[in-house]
Structure 1
Amino acid sequence: MLPRWLCGCTQTIENKFDDKKLQDIFDKRCAALFEDFSVKFETLKTEFLNSALEKISDFPTSSGENNASTTTTFAEEVIHGPEQKIIVKPKNPQETSRTKHDLLTSVNPVDHDIQFEEVRHIKDGGMLFQCSQSAEASKLEKVMHEKLSDNYNVHILKTLHPQIRVVGYAENLDGESLLQYILKQNDTIFGTNSDCKVVRTGATNKNKAIFQATLQSNQEMREQMDLKGFNPTVKPYDQKKKIQYTMENLDGGTLEITLDQDSPSKKGF
């Protein structure tokens, strides 16, 4: 039988051993739970990232991967649509697959809450991102510039103003007169925020007695034109004080307008 003074020491040692053992078990359990949580978090994060950048992975590369015939030109992307577009282009030409890799490893859409509508390829390994709003485009440009500026040029593309070709009128009107006729007769299309100007006028190549002009507008007017629809092309003619001609959008479709030189009407397209 142990002395009374030694019994207390033994009990203290046993308690300390039990506490240490419990602490070890607790630590191991916590480590296992944390590891399991980390794995699940990384899995969800990867799935979200892959989903957000799915269009990048599936889009054809300049080297012919997937369907390269769908790759668009720089000019085609700039001239169409009101969306904000961002171009990411390597400072030295490279394969698109390399650009994809750098984007996937350097830019995390989850961390920065990046949203974009579409991704397209341009030459020399560049990529073009399309955003529906200017705020999203600015945020995307900032993040990409911070992460990729050492090896890539990143900037927002300026959207070209929609252009309209007026062709087929039989009197050589100066730009200001022609513009006034168009504005007064189509006030339902040219609103308070619309902007339009004549950038060039002159005779057609086929017939020097028939004239044409190119107008530059803004996006609001373009949207109104699309909403109104297009009329079929008609043959131009000159009848006393009226001039009939067609108004043709450069990317397809024509509009018919009749100009009354004495009193421009409010007749729409």
Structure 2
Amino acid sequence: MRDFGVGFGYLLRGQKWVAGHGRWFGFGLLPGLVTLVLYVAALTGLGYGADDLTAWATPFADDWGSPWQGLLRGALTFLVFALGLFLAVITFTAVTLLVGQPFYESLSEAVDRDEDGEAPESGLPLWRELWISARDSLRVLARVALYGILLFAAGFIPVVGQTVVPVIGFCVSGFFLTEELTAVALQRRRVEFKERLGMLRGRRAAALGFGVPLVLAFLIPFVAVLLMPGAVAGATLMARELNGETPAEDADEAGAPAPRRTDADSRLG
């Protein structure tokens, strides 16, 4: 539980960092707003079409009497929409980070400079960084899709499918959400995808402490946009620890005051 608290502490510290650096907060909102419009439209369409999709997928239940047909299709409709949310949370971050790559790179660098006066650079051209980010996001999506299919199938198990499976889904989403966010800082340090996964598996509880609360918050669409700048800032602080640049943080440090304002803000004017 302590390591879970450490991860949550990094999330809070990131939000406090952007609250103390208001220009960076506004700067980091722009990519999320663009992505939000697209995702709200997609989830609205799914919400209207989930019933029809469930009915099409279960023709064997057409002759079932009440209440069994309604119970089956109601449960499956819930699972379809839950799966859509599950994928939306992960892909929202990936798409937002891809759209806002220059924005979040700059924000992450500002956090690094605020910590020790310098920010590691990958030395790669922007097009190459975008390609690596897109490639790694597809790797994450493939893993999430596999877990999603397995969890969807497990959703048919009575009781377990409506209780345990959603909890596991949130944990899977939280872990990979943390990977996506810490990747912003770790890619600048030339840390490869498999190595990043290894780092997070070694600190699984901390990764869940950072990612699961975000997943829950991201279920409210506009909250996802508001929290993204602070999530990138907090993930940068967490990445510094994962990479051995700073000692492990105590969960209590989440209550520490926001970092002082430095020259990092001058880059925005």
State if a TM-score over 0.5 links the two structures: no
Structure holding more strand per residue:
1
More contact order relative to length (CA 8 Å, sep ≥ 6): 2
Q: What is the TM-score of this pair, normalised by structure 2?
A: 0.29
